[in-house]
Amino acid sequence: MKSISYLNTKEKNKKKLSIPSKTIFAKENEYGLKKPNWLKIKLPLNNKKINKIKLIMRKNNLHTVCEEAACPNLAECFNRGTATFMILGSICTRRCPFCNVSSGRPSLVDTKEPENLSKAAIKMKLKHIVITSVDRDDLKDGGSEHFSNCIRFIRKKNPDIKIEILVPDFRGCTELALNNISTYPPDIFNHNLESIPRLYSKVRPGANYKRSLELLEKFNLINPNIPTKSGLMLGLGETKEEIIEVMKDLRKSYVSMITIGQYLRPTKNHLTVNRYVHPKEFRELNLIAFDLGFKHAMCGPLVRSSYHAENQINCY
């Protein structure tokens, strides 16, 4: 049985247009915890559409979190003609042990990126675009003005498109960042909590659970008519009770949309999977989310925050 090999940065740059063309399993846990059948990934036999999306990215000097984070849904989403754009470069100033995005000293902000992003959205005929970014703690505004510029430029060229942004926590510049983004607000504001409070120091060093909740709540107070969204990944040692408490905290912070998926270990250098959550448990969490008052919930093993995002906004 073949497994996905998650490439390092140099290898990824060499093989940007290569992708397996058969059914595969993601890499097995080195501690003997094998991936169950429900995590089986079906890849298309024809890579034409996938390569077309990758080519659009290369021509416009753009990045996708799908590639940089080794998302298991890459083939499916690219084959459907969608992608989650990652702005502000491909180098993150933080090193979260669950994330496959490269970390280090980032490059200068590409001032042409908003225009290139708009061109790509038009070329891909997108009706819903999801934009995320690396953490940019080196910038005084955390990159928020660049987010705003991207939204402004996209709306100028394509006023009917729905724009969803998945933002970092803007550590040390929350007020400035929210003011910048509120100048040209998105249709959906997303910030992922990722995990439960007890595991934060392990899963998100450099982040703070309370700060992330406050970011979501403050955006809602400034923009009460714009839905806020957050996401969790499971399988790192959390309990069902702890998950539900986080969901309650999100509702108290006026978050109305939630995604919950399974954490998958990108490489042996990343956090170990504690357990693989059964699909039945995800279905139960989906029902609990609606009982708690979420207007939209998507919970499943391969669910990610931007997975089928264009359908999630239909609840509004």
Residue ranges of the binding site for [4Fe-4S] cluster = 66, 71, 77, 92, 96, 99, 306
Contact 179, 214 (CB under 8 A): no
Contact 58, 2 (CB under 8 A): no
14 phi/psi in degrees, rounded to 5: -75, -30
Query: From CA 119, how far away is CA 117, in angstroms rounded?
Result: 5
Contact 243, 263 (CB under 8 A): no
Provide CB contacts within 8 A for 279, sequence distance 6+: 38, 300, 301
Contact 233, 195 (CB under 8 A): yes
Annotate 217-237 with b (16+ C-beta within 10 A) or e (fewer).
bbbbeebeeebbbbbbbbbbb
Cα distances (Å, whole numbers) of residue 22 to 7, 43, 137, 173, 272: 18, 6, 40, 46, 26
Binding residues, as ranges, are 66, 71, 77, 92, 96, 99, 306
Sheet holding 296-299, edge to edge: 63-64, 84-87, 128-133, 162-166, 188-190, 228-234, 257-262, 296-299
Q: Strand, helix or coil at 132? A: strand
Which residues is 165 bridged to in the sheet? 131, 189
295 phi/psi in degrees, rounded to 5: -80, -25
Query: From CA 125, how far away is CA 233, in angstroms rounded?
Result: 30
